[in-house]
Chains A and B, each alone.
Chain A
Amino acid sequence: MEKSTVTIEIRQEVSVTLLWIVAGVVLVSAAFLLAPRSSELWTALNYAGVAAALYMIALLLYALRKPLAPKHRLWMGIAAIVVIALTAFTWVRMESQVRWQAETLMRIRGVIGRGIIQNEVSNIMLRTLDEFYRNGPHATETLADVFRKQNPGTALGSNLHKYQGGDASLQIIVTKMDPGLIEVVSQETFVPGRDPYFKNYHGQLGMIQEKYVLTSRGMTHVNEN
């Protein structure tokens, strides 16, 4: 049986190219895979981007060394620096832009949430006040009586929010129901407010919360978080 042997000759420039590629792939992949895990892709990508930039600088220093003609070194060096700078600029701007867009989305959600709270709670409270004064200044019914009549079955701790389309994120909780004073606290269950450490009525941390108090003198509102 005949055996044949194939000898592979690798030219120096090819082996050097291969070495550079292997080193670059290992360096960039390691930086990407060893970066701290997060729900964002940016962390891993930024680590790998820094590794890739360092690799590119080393590669440029190697590729543009003597005995290349000075004009070639100059032009390629300038072009490479411009491309690296533009890439870094676009990369950083893209990250800041999408983060801003993500924050804007949540801010819009917060505005929507506060708008719904204001609308729903003031509607409930002012309907009670309207009815209270419709009976005349010497009516025998208290504010709490009118409130209970308009919101049957309401007790302390009741949620007055009418669920629409499965939206269970908003809660309007009755926290005080004295004869002359009604207090409700309204909170969003997933939309962050100003203070991330604010303790919400139901024990969550940092969500939007507003308090409304109704007396015979009118309604007052406190933006708690």
Chain B
Amino acid sequence: MSTKTENHELSRRFLWQIGLVTLIVIAAVVYTNRYLTSERSSPVADTQTIMFPWLVAGRHTIENALYAFSGNGLQEPKIPELARALTALLVSSVICPTVFLLGWRWRRLTPLSGENPRPLSLSISFYGLCAAVTLYSSVAMIPVSYYGEVVRTSLRAAQAVQSNRDSVISEVNTIAINAFQYYILPTELGGGDRSYEEYIIPQGLSKTSAARYSVAPSRKEVMIRAASAPFEDCSVEVRLDSTGRLWQWTYSGRYR
């Protein structure tokens, strides 16, 4: 005997199945990624959200930069990273927006009547889940963009000071080498013959794009001062002794 079963709610079962499969895939990817992440040692903390695929790519770039910093080769993205980025992109820009937008359209075009309200079903729940994900990721873009810009600006400002400080330290070292050479060389070769007293900074080294430099020499020691050119509150002072050793580094302003 053949029985034909007609079920008008099957379409909702289909949505339920799509939802279940999607959730299983997401859970599997997250679990696999967590499991594999704990297996490998990474210098970069794991991202806590799977909604924004660019965080996965950014993490990989920083991880590679740290490897390069230590002289190790660049790593190609691993399968869990690829899966995670692709899943995030598919969920946030294909699956959820499609269900949300087409469901929204259908609801706008077939308004509810008071006598025949839509029953609560898994298809409604799945639509609700997709709508929640779509709205969450959409609304979250406002603070994410804003704070991203704030962090970006503050990082660049801090790095500008740090770069200037690095340049100043390097130039102070160059002046110290020049001064110690002056200390060593005899007077007939333009040196101080075991004294810093007459030392002056050569023309090209006294003023650069990073800082202005001055010295306070005595017989056995010279104090080198650097005043940052772009950051007026920043300066460095250091002493150079008769053995060529730089000591008592003192930083002020944002150099500290």
Kindly count the residue-residue contacts between A and B in the assembled complex, taking CB atoms under 8 Å apart. Answer: 226
> Once the chains bind, are A39 and B189 in contact (CB under 8 Å)?
no
> Once the chains bind, are B97 and A32 in contact (CB under 8 Å)?
no
User: Is the C-beta of A56 less than 8 angstroms from some C-beta in chain B?
Assistant: yes
Cα distance, A94 to B47, chains bound together (Å): 14
Complex partner residue of B62 from A93, A101, A189, A218, CB under 8 angstroms: A101
Cα distance, A4 to B71, chains bound together (Å): 67
Specify which chain A residues have a CB less than 8 angstroms from the CB of B10 in the assembled complex. 8-10
User: Is the C-beta of A199 less than 8 angstroms from some C-beta in chain B?
Assistant: no
The distance from the CB of B145 to the nearest CB of chain A, in whole angstroms, is 5
> Once the chains bind, are B5 and A219 in contact (CB under 8 Å)?
no
Cα distance, A118 to B7, chains bound together (Å): 82
User: Is the C-beta of B94 less than 8 angstroms from some C-beta in chain A?
Assistant: yes
> Once the chains bind, are B108 and A72 in contact (CB under 8 Å)?
yes
Specify which chain B residues have a CB less than 8 angstroms from the CB of A129 in the assembled complex. 181, 184-185
Complex partner residue of B1 from A3, A8, A108, CB under 8 angstroms: A3
Specify which chain A residues have a CB less than 8 angstroms from the CB of B186 in the assembled complex. 133, 137
> Once the chains bind, are A9 and B6 in contact (CB under 8 Å)?
yes
> Once the chains bind, are B4 and A63 in contact (CB under 8 Å)?
no
User: Is the C-beta of B37 less than 8 angstroms from some C-beta in chain A?
Assistant: no
The distance from the CB of A9 to the nearest CB of chain B, in whole angstroms, is 6
User: Is the C-beta of B213 less than 8 angstroms from some C-beta in chain A?
Assistant: no
> Once the chains bind, are A101 and B14 in contact (CB under 8 Å)?
no
> Once the chains bind, are A16 and B56 in contact (CB under 8 Å)?
no
Cα distance, A170 to B93, chains bound together (Å): 48
Cα distance, A40 to B186, chains bound together (Å): 57
User: Is the C-beta of A106 less than 8 angstroms from some C-beta in chain B?
Assistant: yes
User: Is the C-beta of A123 less than 8 angstroms from some C-beta in chain B?
Assistant: yes
Specify which chain A residues have a CB less than 8 angstroms from the CB of B145 in the assembled complex. 86, 89-90, 93
User: Is the C-beta of B54 less than 8 angstroms from some C-beta in chain A?
Assistant: yes
> Once the chains bind, are B61 and A40 in contact (CB under 8 Å)?
yes
Specify which chain A residues have a CB less than 8 angstroms from the CB of B235 in the assembled complex. none
User: Is the C-beta of B29 less than 8 angstroms from some C-beta in chain A?
Assistant: no
Specify which chain B residues have a CB less than 8 angstroms from the CB of A111 in the assembled complex. 166, 170
Cα distance, A8 to B11, chains bound together (Å): 8
Cα distance, A10 to B98, chains bound together (Å): 17
Interface of chain A residues 13 through 55 with chain B (CB within 8 A):
13-14, 16-18, 20-21, 24-25, 28-29, 32, 37-42, 44-45, 48-49, 52, 55
Which secondary structure dominates chain B's binding surface? helix
Identify which of B74-82, B112-120, B223-231 touches chain A. B74-82
Interface residues on A, range: 35 or more
The distance from the CB of B138 to the nearest CB of chain A, in whole angstroms, is 4
Complex partner residue of A102 from B2, B14, B65, B173, CB under 8 angstroms: B65
User: Is the C-beta of A76 less than 8 angstroms from some C-beta in chain B?
Assistant: yes
User: Is the C-beta of B23 less than 8 angstroms from some C-beta in chain A?
Assistant: no
> Once the chains bind, are B65 and A133 in contact (CB under 8 Å)?
no
In the complex formed, the residue of A with least CB distance to B73 is A39
Specify which chain B residues have a CB less than 8 angstroms from the CB of A13 in the assembled complex. 102-103, 106
Binary contact track A105-120/B, C-beta < 8 Å → 1, others 0: 1111101001100110
Residues on B lying within 8 angstroms of A by beta carbon are: 1-8, 10-11, 14-15, 18, 52-58, 60-62, 64-66, 68-69, 71, 74-77, 81-82, 85-86, 89-90, 93-95, 97-99, 101-106, 108-109, 138, 141-142, 144-145, 148-149, 152, 155-156, 159, 163, 166, 169-170, 173-174, 177, 180-181, 184-186, 189, 244
